[in-house]
Amino acid sequence: MSIELPIYLDHHATTPVDSRVLEAMLPYFQRDFGNAASHSHVFGWRAEAAVEDARERIARALGAETREIIFTSGATESNNAALLGVVRARAKRGNHVVTAVTEHRAVLDPLRAHESSGGRVTWLPVDSDGLVDPSAVEEALCDETVLVSIMAANSEIGVLQPIEAIAAICRERGVLFHTDAAQAVGKIPFDLASLPADLVSISAHKLYGPKGCGALYVRNKRPRIRLEPLLYGGGHERGLRSGTLAVPLIVGLARALEICVEELSQAAARAAGLRDRLRAAIESGLDGVVLNGHPQQRLPGNLNLSFEGITADSLLIALKDVAISSGSACSSATPEPSHVLLALGGGAERASSALRFGIGRGNTEEEIDWVAEQVIASVRGLRAERRRGASVAQTRRGG
């Protein structure tokens, strides 16, 4: 079987739109192009019907109620809306928030803004596998704690946090719990009928849907959550998120999520198999390879490896026909080592030599085997080059 280059292994950064999703979206770009807020003619009625149908299907897939789904532009907006919306709405009760140091920048940055405006944040550490200890969350809670935010699955090292235990602790203490589930929903079982989360962020483009669309789950009862909106101007989405709704993208999100849920068991098993195949092949051909993140408690398609003696940047250049990354795509503009990898305690050298492989729906065994061969050859070449350079430098110093 021939392999088409380049090979895409960066499915945590984004995913291609599934052809079935594109087919569902197409009518709403031209034929049914109406504004869902236009209630005086059939074009608006059709658009509104499409949005409400999508809302119902998303709610069903997540185990939520229809009115608990609020549409946004993506997980970044959903995270900001949840975090800042809660701290502003609950300012009279307290201003303390608990989170983990390995969260996505879309959580870390708004909470830093909260701190800079006088709020208080507890930044919890993680263990060497990247896991948050639920007991540490409980110990951090106080009378002024209004929110805990712990992501479901880490975008870099794929670690699955114990959010069920953390959410239960928060519920018992009367503290709201938010989780950034952009990387988890559609890849692992996720049911809000059993998970006592109060706010959940998701994104379409992480699950073979379109870019520019996401949703925020806002619990409507026991307790009913009140948020201070970030956007004003029209009162759309129950007043929580004003702005004209992106009907085609919302339809795409619903269809993408449905497909992921329907095919989850088979897709997860397949991705995990390819991940394990890639890891075994690389480790059989190289020494000095370190797995980042928990070996079992991780996303099926995630593999994050550090390669001793080289830098990730040099390996990325060598692997020009493989699309992979050295960290979160949303933070790739910063040259510093990943804050997630540094938090594991392995040091800057280990963090700077890490690559993230994100395996997705379209990858094949042939691609995985070819990538493993390229990684092994490239690492060996870079290590040999480094040894030669060190030898030359030593000779010059001796002369």
Catalytic sites, residue numbers: 330
SS3 state at 356: strand
- Supply 346's token pair: 């392995």
Q: CA-CA distance, 387 to 100, in Å (whole number)? A: 39
Q: CA-CA distance, 303 to 300, in Å (whole number)? A: 9
Kindly list the distances between the CA atom of residue 61 and the CA atoms of 68, 98, 124, 304, 324, in Å, as whole numbers in the listed order. Answer: 13, 28, 31, 29, 30
Helix (H) or strand (E) holding 215, with range, is strand 214-218
Kindly list the distances between the CA atom of residue 230 and the CA atoms of 13, 36, 145, 156, 225, in Å, as whole numbers in the listed order. Answer: 25, 21, 21, 28, 15
φ/ψ (deg, to 5) at 157:
-105, 0
Bond into 6 cis (ω within 30): yes
- Supply 188's token pair: 């692992």
Cα Rg of the chain (Å, integer): 23
CA dihedral 231, 235, 239, 244 (to 10 degrees): -70
Q: CA-CA distance, 206 to 219, in Å (whole number)? A: 23
Q: CA-CA distance, 68 to 225, in Å (whole number)? A: 10
Q: CA-CA distance, 281 to 39, in Å (whole number)? A: 59
Q: CA-CA distance, 307 to 193, in Å (whole number)? A: 42
Q: CA-CA distance, 6 to 324, in Å (whole number)? A: 11
Q: Which DSSP string do the residues of 137-183 spell out, in sequence order?
A: HHHH--TTEEEEE--SB-TTT-BB--HHHHHHHHHHHT-EEEEE-TT
Q: Is the distance from CB of 213 to CB of 241 less than 8 angstroms?
A: no
Q: CA-CA distance, 112 to 249, in Å (whole number)? A: 31
Q: Is the distance from CB of 176 to CB of 154 less than 8 angstroms?
A: no
